[in-house]
Each structure stands twice: as structure tokens, then as C-alpha cells.
């Protein structure tokens, strides 16, 4: 149980036992270097729905390629850049006919995972790990939409020039 001391923004954790004695729990936890400031949910559907766009933004695009402060987040930024590039290429080189059931399933799965991960995870390192299943679904969906024949024809004409 936590409470806020009067006149302070800090929460103080408390432990209650059977004889009504209150014990303060003292600990020294360093702050996360990659904390994302998320909005608190109010416990209703409207609050959840209002947080979905920000959750998708954080889960899909963070960390950015050029805003990474350490090497591990830089690798994740490069990964996010290539996923975004793959999505853009799939938009321009998409198939006329595709398996719509598969596409709906994988994009819905990726969307749900990204929303829940984006809403519940305030630390960048954990966010990068938790969104891996969504990236798998997203990649399957994007690759099933791409027309590789159009793409290879374009690449061959560009290489010959």
C-alpha cells in the first residue's frame, strides 16, 4: 500500500501487520535511464481509448534511430527504422490479391499486442523486449501484402541504369 505524504509528490510504501503497527519500507532504487512518461488510466473505457494512440506511437516507433542514448537502444532504433521502411515499401508494392483472413489476423494480433505493451510498459528496455511478438506478426502481415515481382522489376531497372 502506498500513500502520498502531505505537501509532497513522493509515494511512501507502507506495510501493515496484524497488531496495527506501521512499518516504512526504505529502499534505494535508481531511476530508469529510459523512462517513458505515460498517462495514468482512470479505470474506465474512455481513459483506455484515449491512451491507445500514444501507446501505439510509443510501442511502434520508440526508440527513434537518432535519439538513442546507448548502444542497445541504438540497435532497437535501427530495427524500428527497418520495420517502418518495410511498411512503406509494402504500401507502394502491394499485391492486388492476398489472403485477407491471414492479413486481418496478423495485423489485429500485432495491434492488440502493441496497444497493451504501449499502455502498460513505461521503460524503453522492457518495451523493446515485449513488442517482439507484435513485430513478428507485423512482419508476416507486411510480407504477405508485398508484391515481390514488382519490387524485383523496379530494382533490376534501377541497377541496370
Q: Tens digits of per-residue pLDDT, 99-150?
A: 889 999 999 999 999 999 999 888 888 899 999 999 999 999 999 999 888 8
Would the pLDDT of 27 be above 70?
no
Is 119 among the domain residues? yes
pTM to 2 decimals? 0.73
State the average pLDDT over residues 39-48. Answer: 85
Is 55 among the domain residues? yes
Is 134 among the domain residues? yes
Q: What is the pLDDT of residue 50?
A: 92
Residue 66 lies in domain: 45-160
Q: φ and ψ at 22, to 5 degrees?
A: -105, 130
Higher pLDDT, 152 or 13: 152
Is 89 among the domain residues? yes
11-15, 39-43, 51-55, 94-98: which is most confident: 51-55
Q: φ and ψ at 24, to 5 degrees?
A: -80, 135
Work out how many domains the chain is built from and give that number: 1
Is 117 among the domain residues? yes
Is 52 among the domain residues? yes
**CA–CA separation, 113 vs 149, rounded Å?**
31
Query: How buried is residue 156: exposed, middle or buried, by Cβ count under 10 Å (0-12/13-18/19+)?
Result: exposed
Q: What is the pLDDT of residues 62-100, one digit of tens each?
A: 888 787 778 888 888 899 999 999 999 999 988 888 888
Is 85 among the domain residues? yes
Amino acid at each position: 500500500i502506498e500513500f502520498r505524504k502531505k505537501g509532497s509528490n513522493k509515494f511512501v510504501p507502507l506495510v501493515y501487520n496484524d497488531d496495527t503497527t506501521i512499518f516504512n519500507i526504505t529502499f534505494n532504487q535508481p531511476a530508469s535511464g529510459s523512462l517513458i512518461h505515460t498517462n495514468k488510466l482512470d479505470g474506465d473505457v474512455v481513459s483506455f481509448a484515449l491512451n491507445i494512440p500514444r501507446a501505439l506511437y510509443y510501442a511502434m516507433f520508440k526508440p527513434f534511430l537518432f535519439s538513442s542514448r546507448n548502444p542497445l537502444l541504438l540497435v532497437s532504433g535501427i530495427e524500428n527504422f527497418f520495420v517502418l521502411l518495410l511498411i512503406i515499401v509494402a504500401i507502394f508494392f502491394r499485391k492486388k490479391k492476398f489472403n485477407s483472413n491471414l492479413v486481418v489476423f496478423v495485423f489485429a494480433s500485432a495491434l492488440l499486442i502493441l496497444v497493451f505493451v504501449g499502455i502498460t510498459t513505461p521503460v524503453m528496455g522492457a518495451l523493446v523486449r515485449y513488442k517482439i511478438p507484435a513485430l513478428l506478426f507485423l512482419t508476416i502481415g507486411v510480407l504477405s501484402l508485398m508484391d515481390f515481382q514488382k519490387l524485383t522489376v523496379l530494382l533490376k531497372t534501377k541497377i541496370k541504369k
